[in-house]
A and B are shown apart, each in its own frame.
Chain A
Amino acid sequence: MQQKEITVTNKLGLHARPSALLVKTANNFRSELHIIMDDVEVNGKSIMGVMTLAAARGSRLVLQADGVDEDYLLEEIAKLFESNFSED
C-alpha cells in the first residue's frame, strides 16, 4: 500500500467537475483508491463518495492506493491536484 498527502489548491475545491475527473482517472487503474479527510474515508472510484468530502481549497487529504499499479495511480492523481484540475 502506498500513501500520499496532498492539499487541495484549486479555487473552487472538489466540486462536481474535478470530482468526476478524479474518479474517471482512478478508474483507469486496477488498484484501489481511498481518500481520507479528517475522520472520513471514501472510495476514490465512487463519485458520490468523493463529492461527500466537499473538500475546499486548503483541505488536506490523504490518498491511499493499494494494488499492482498503486504508484502510477498516486502519481496521476497527484498530478491532477497539482494542475488544479486544469481550472485556475
Chain B
Amino acid sequence: MKELSVKELFEKKKKDFALSVITQPRTLNNTISEAQLNRPGMALAGYLDRFSYKRVQMLGETEISYLQTFSDDALYERLKEMFEYGIPCIFITKGLSVPHQMEYLANEMNIALISSRLTTEKLALNLSQYLRNYFAPKRSLHGTLVDVFGVGILITGSSGIGKSECALDLVERGHRLIADDLVKITLQNNTLMGTPARDAGWFMEIRGVGIVDIERMFGIQAVRLRKQIEVQVELMPWRDNMDYERIGLKNNWSSIHGVNIPVIYLPVSPGKNVSVIIEVISMNHILKTFGYDAAEAYTRRLKEEIKRQSRRNR
C-alpha cells in the first residue's frame, strides 16, 4: 500500500497551497494512505460511527465557527474523542485561527494542524487532485511513447524490433518524444497518462551506435514531459499465417489499467517505412475521433455500387 508522509506533502505543496504548520514540526511525521478528503462535520457533532479518520481532514469556516458554539470542556472532550482515532493531519483553510484546546490536543496527540490561506473550495480541489494523482495506479511498460500530430502513440514490440529507431525517425520528422524504452503509465480520470519512467532526460539507445541525447540533438521542440496515450502500435515480425487487418472495420483493443485503447498490430519487414505508417495511423485516428471512418465510408460506397450492379444483373 502506497503511503505519503504529511511532511512530504507539506514540503512539496507549501508554496502552491500557501501552507504553514500551527503545531510543532514533529507532528508532521504521520503518513497518509488514502486519496480522499474528509470534512468532519458529523464527527464534530458527535456522530463518530462512520468517521473516516484515515483520511486527511479539512476544516473550513463552517466547522471552525461551529466549534465556537461549544463550551471549553465540551470542546476538549469532543476533539479528544475524535483525535483518538488516529487522524493523519488536519488542514484549516482561509488562514483561520483554531481554538487553543485544539492546538494543545493536536500537539499532545501528534496530529499536524496545517493552515492554508486558500479558500476551502480551492484547497479541497487542489489537495484532492494532488492526492488522487499521488495514489493513482501506476505501472511501467516496455515501449516508446511519441506524440505524433498531437496523438500519443505507444509503440510496443519485442526487444530489437526497432521501436527506438522508429521513434528517432518520427522525431526527425518533427514529432515529439516522451519516453523511450520504459514508459510510466498513470491512470488519470479514466485516461492513460504517459511519462518517462526515469526523470533523466531524453536519452535513447540506438543499436550499433550506443546512447544518444535526443534533446541535445533535436532541441526542446523534439521532446515532451507527458502525453495522454491514445493508440498502441505493436510492431511485430512479419508472419505468413498472421491475420493482419486488411480493411480496418474491426478494432482491436488493448487494456491498460482497465482503460481500452485501440491497438494496431503492425508487421515490420526490411525496407518498410514504419514511421510514415505511424503518421497515417495518427491521422486516421484523428479522423475517426472527428467522426470520419475511411473503412466505413469505403465499404458504404462499395455496397451502393454492388446494389447498382445487382440491378443490372436482374
A residues with CB within 8 A of B? 12-16, 20, 23-24, 47, 51, 54-59
The answer on a CB contact under 8 Å between A56 and B249 is: no
B243 lies within 8 A of chain A by Cβ:
yes
Chain B 272-314 interface mask (CB, 8 Å, partner A; 1/0): 0000000000000000000000010011001101111110111
Residue in B243, B309, B314 whose Cβ sees the most chain A Cβ within 10 Å: B309
Whether A58 touches B249, Cβ cut-off 8 Å, given contacts A12-B303, A14-B306, is no
Knowing A47-B246, A54-B306, the reply to whether A16 touches B299 (Cβ < 8 A) is yes
Q: Give the number of A-B contacts (CB < 8 Å).
A: 46
B residues sitting closer than 8 Å to A (CB atoms) are 243, 246-247, 249, 295, 298-299, 302-303, 305-310, 312-314
- Measured CB to CB, the closest approach of chain A to B297, in angstroms, equals 11
Q: Are A56 and B246 in contact (CB under 8 A)?
A: no
A14 to B306, CA, bound (A): 8
**Interface majority SS (helix, strand, loop, mixed), chain B:** helix
Contacts of B309 in A (CB 8 A): 13, 54-56, 59
- Nearest Cβ distance between residue A52 and chain B, in whole angstroms? 9
Q: A59-B309, A59-B313 are in contact. Are A54 and B302 (CB under 8 A)?
A: yes
A1 to chain B minimum Cβ distance, whole angstroms, is 24
- Cβ–Cβ < 8 Å partners of B247 in chain A: 16, 20, 47
Give the residues in chain A near B308, CB-CB below 8 Å.
56
A23→B246 contact, CB < 8 A = yes
CB distance from A73 to the nearest CB of B (A): 16
Complex formed: what's the CA distance from A12 to B305 in Å? 11
Q: What are 23 residue pairs bridging A and B, where the CB atoms are less than 8 Å apart in the complex? A: A12-B303, A12-B306, A13-B306, A13-B309, A14-B306, A15-B299, A15-B302, A15-B306, A16-B247, A16-B298, A16-B302, A20-B247, A23-B246, A24-B246, A51-B298, A54-B305, A55-B306, A56-B306, A56-B307, A56-B312, A57-B310, A58-B313, A59-B309
Which residues of chain B come closer than 8 Å to A56, judged between CB atoms? 306-310, 312-313
Contacts A13-B306, A23-B246 known; 15 new A-B pairs at CB < 8 A: A13-B310, A15-B299, A15-B306, A16-B249, A16-B298, A16-B299, A16-B302, A24-B243, A24-B246, A47-B246, A51-B302, A54-B305, A54-B306, A56-B307, A57-B310
Are B303's CB and A15's CB within 8 A?
yes
Select from chain B the residue with minimum beta-carbon distance to A46: B246
A68: min CB distance to chain B, Å: 16
Most B CB within 10 A of own CB, among A14, A16, A58 = A16
Within the assembled complex, what's the spacing in Å between the Cα atoms of A47 and B309? 19
A53 to B295 CA separation, bound complex (whole angstroms): 17
Contact A20 B246, beta carbon cutoff 8 Å:
yes
Q: Which residues of B contact A55 (CB under 8 A)?
A: 306, 309
Residues in chain B near residue A13, CB distance under 8 A: 306, 309-310
Q: A85 to chain B: closest CB distance in Å?
A: 13
